[in-house]
Structure 1
Amino acid sequence: MTVARRDVLSLGGGLLAALSLSRKDVWAQEVVEIRMQGRSDGSHVWFDPIGVLIKPGQMIRWINQNPGNSHTTTAYHPTNFGKPFRIPEAANSWDSDYLLPDESFSVTFTEQGVYDYYCIPHEHAGMVGRIIVGKPEVHGGWMESVAASRGLPDEALKAFPMVEEIMAKRIVRRL
């Protein structure tokens, strides 16, 4: 059997293409973990990281690592206690319910855009987070609506990282 040089090259190119695709698929399937944390005296609670940039199809897993508190991860969406709409229109809302220490909750994000979420018992303490999926549209979304901020505690509004900061850093931590 004679193997031509072009056959070897095309086989090698095909192998490289397959490897690069599998790396993209693995990266797209990576699970990003967000820890729910707090001081032992309960004086400060937070999500870590507070801002993340992911690709469509990636999963976020929130884990309660605060031994003294229960926490939730809840989308800003009217179906969740009449909160303002602060996720993409086509996206599914979520609410983890109360997570005890060491419990977790996961969501796979498929719709491109900006997602804001909060912890039900600690929203007034500024326990909020922001997830960006893909490249969000700057115009025409909830972010331009003043109404999307009505009813949110000042501490929550001050805590959200800027979209530009998340886009630049991919992960934003604030403790």
Structure 2
Amino acid sequence: MRALILALGLLASPAAAAELYEVKMLNRNETGGMVFEPDYLRLQPGDRVKFLATHATHNAASMAEMLPAGADSFKGQINEEIEITFTEAGFYGIKCIPHYAMGMVMLVQVGDAPAADATIPEDLPEQAAARFRAIIQRAAPDNG
């Protein structure tokens, strides 16, 4: 009986409720070249994302200029699959370092703020900024 109660308690804990999402780093999909798929995720604090290396030239790294206060930065190696736990609410910009200027970025939203609240820094490469604008435009009607 004690083991059953312990098992039920573990299932009800926040860590057990956390979701795991997978994001592919691709050379191309139907939206264009050098992309994360999906390029937008809406998470809750504690959810995890596994970035899948589908080609030997990609990585996933947080963008210091698009990182919520208190959030840890991360940087995967080229052709490395990494798993990140997102703990702080806010908007995270993610980039593939070799293809950043080509617009290989994604937006991770943690929490319930409207996607329209995400801000795009002014000094981003034009293709990265354009992709972020498109992501926010697509995501904004869904949650705000």
Quickly name the TM-score band, shorter chain normalised.
Answer: 0.7 to 0.9
CA gap of 1:111–1:30, structure 2 versus 1, over 3 A, is same
CA gap of 1:163–1:112, structure 2 versus 1, over 3 A, is farther
| Equivalent residues of 2:22, 2:50 under 8 A apart | yes
Give TM-score, length-normalised by structure 1: 0.64
Is 1:74 aligned with 2:61?
yes
Structure 1 unmatched runs, 5+ = 1-17, 78-84, 170-175
* Cross-structure match for 1:94: 74
CA gap of 1:164–1:136, structure 2 versus 1, over 3 A, is farther
- 2: CA distance, partners of 1:167 / 1:90: 28
From 18, 36, 40, give the equivalent of 1:29: 18
- 2: CA distance, partners of 1:120 / 1:165: 24
* Cross-structure match for 1:126: 103
* Cross-structure match for 1:159: 131
Once the two structures are superposed, residues 94-124 of structure 1 have per-residue CA deviations (whole angstroms, 9 ceiling, x without a partner) of 111212xxx4101101100010111111011
CA gap of 1:52–1:167, structure 2 versus 1, over 3 A, is farther
Once the two structures are superposed, residues 75-109 of structure 1 have per-residue CA deviations (whole angstroms, 9 ceiling, x without a partner) of 111xxxxxxx211021111111212xxx4101101
Identity %: 26
* Cross-structure match for 2:88: 111
Bigger CA radius of gyration: 1
Q: CA deviation at 1:142?
A: 7.6
Looking at both structures, which has the greater relative contact order when contacts are Cα pairs under 8 Å and sequence separation is at least 6? 1
- 2: CA distance, partners of 1:107 / 1:57: 10
Structure 2 unmatched runs, 5+ = 1-7
RMSD of aligned Cα (Å): 3.0
Equivalent residue pairs, number = 131
Give TM-score, length-normalised by structure 2: 0.76
Specify the SS of the correspondent of 2:129.
helix
